Amino acid sequence: MKIKSYNLQQKLWIFLFTITLVSIVFAYSLSQVFYQKLYVDYVKENLELQVEQLASDYKGGPLTDTFRQQVEWLNSKTHGEMFVVNNPRELSACLPFEIDYETLISEEERQSLLAGKAVFKKGYEERFQRDIVAVIYPLLDNGRLEGIIYSYIPLTSMNEFTQDYTFVWFIAGFLFIALMFLVGVKVINFMVKPLKEMKKAAMKMARGDYSTVIDGSGRDEIGSLATAFNQMSQSIQEEDERKRDFLADISHELRTPLSYIKGYTQALLDGLVKTKEDERKYLKLISRETKKLQNLVQDLLDLTKLESNTFVINANPVAFAQFIEDYMEKYISILQDKKIKLKMDLSPEVIISGDEVRLEQIIQNILENALRYTEEDGTISLCLTKKGKNCILTIEDTGRGISEEHLAKITQRFYRVNKARSRFDGGTGIGLSIVEKLMELHNGHMTIESELHKGTKVIFVFPILDL
């Protein structure tokens, strides 16, 4: 059997109706309890007041006809029934029905009356064959019970008295439910409207449409949710655009070297190369493009790992100045061949916590760019200083520099300042993105300063290891 499913709006309607109905029933039941209690207490106090006033006229001795007549007169003026008796058999003269005279009061009640205490009764009374509220008051003379004043009101009279009250409650409750339902539906529709809009927007997002903007002006949780939804939608849209751009860039980056490799290989296969010198030239070009592809794939793998939350560096204490000096040995011959001067000013006491393999990768990416864009007789400078709890490594060159419009985007993946020329003498285009991620993993950060035709300065800030 299929169970019917309700949406949030319907559930809220049902909840509102149920709560309203339960509240009215509970309030009515509680009011009935209080009303009955208050009314019974009022009747009791009224009956007690009447019999006490009558009893105050009793001066002792046998009950007189005058006293009986006074009770009968008062009985004719009140809503309930009242009589006075000293012998139960005399009740036949004042009651229109047969009762068990000997059981008008029990022995326990008689003892209370002898003690001068009034007796209160509520409920079904067999002697009168009805539900009553009654007060029995003793008439004592020197400790002897000369008689009693018995005053009672049938509960049927009380029920009749409360019928109008119950009817008013029913009408008021019905109107209240109708009013709450009408108002509640509008309020619920207003509250659920942003959620419905979010549902529609989410379905559009699933189809790739991120144009819907939810009204997040409300200051409640739904307004905050709408704002968060808009932010999420914008973030997903930006990420989707970055992903498309990334795939387009990868396709573009792969297409160029693959085209060269395919063209040169096809020329060799077709026998278009006639001399060994040309054949070697073509093979060198194929090797160069293959190396570019290899570097690109490796950088992509590195970047993918770095962007995952599972990547962890193998950090150890590193004497940074000595590490840089040792690493720069491999570049001495390259600098000499390009006739580029190297200057190093390294503070020897700096010790950091770092992954040596990844530190080499950081320095290599920056040095490769510096070597690539610095002309002959230029200079590359490395400076390591200590500042507070951090150290600052600066790698500066006297190369072409970067204009301000490109500087803000230089760390984006596949971003190139000179796109045409970089296809031949540039890197993979994601080296700086890798460096930025590696710096984050080392709890540091990178800043790039540059001026066109004057050079570029890359500043690394690492926390110093406290030993």
Quick one: pLDDT at residue 378?
A: 92
Residue 226 neighbours by CB under 8 Å, 6+ apart: 194, 197, 198, 214, 215, 216, 218
Quick one: pLDDT at residue 359?
A: 93
pLDDT digits (tens, 9 = 90+) for 262-289: 888 888 888 877 788 888 888 888 888 8
What CATH number does the domain located at 8-160 have?
3.30.450
Quick one: pLDDT at residue 95?
A: 46
Token duo for residue 159: 């029920």
Do the bridges between strand 316-319 and strand 351-354 make them parallel or antiparallel, or are there none, so unpaired? antiparallel
Residue spans of the domains in the chain: they are 8-160, 239-305, 312-463
Average of pLDDT values for 348-374?
A: 91
Biggest CA pair distance of the chain: 157
CATH topology of domain 239-305: Helix Hairpins (1.10.287)
Token duo for residue 334: 């390259």
pLDDT digits (tens, 9 = 90+) for 176-227: 777 877 887 777 777 777 777 777 888 887 777 777 777 766 666 777 777 8
pLDDT digits (tens, 9 = 90+) for 44-55: 788 888 888 777
Question: Please, which pLDDT band fits residue 462 given cuts at 50, 70 and 90?
Answer: very high
% of the chain at pLDDT higher than 70: 83
Quickly count: other Cβ atoms within 10 Å of residue 149's Cβ: 24
Task: Give the architecture (CATH level 2) of 312-463.
Answer: 2-Layer Sandwich (3.30)
- What sign results for the dihedral spanned by CA atoms 316, 397, 293, 254? positive
Rounded Cα distance, 364 and 23, in Å = 75
Residue 129 neighbours by CB under 8 Å, 6+ apart: 97
Are residues 119 and 109 in contact, defined by beta-carbon separation less than 8 angstroms?
A: yes
Structural element, H or E, at residue 105:
none
Quick one: pLDDT at residue 429?
A: 65
The model's pTM is 0.49
CA–CA distances in Å: residue 371 to residues 220, 392, 428, 454:
57, 21, 15, 15
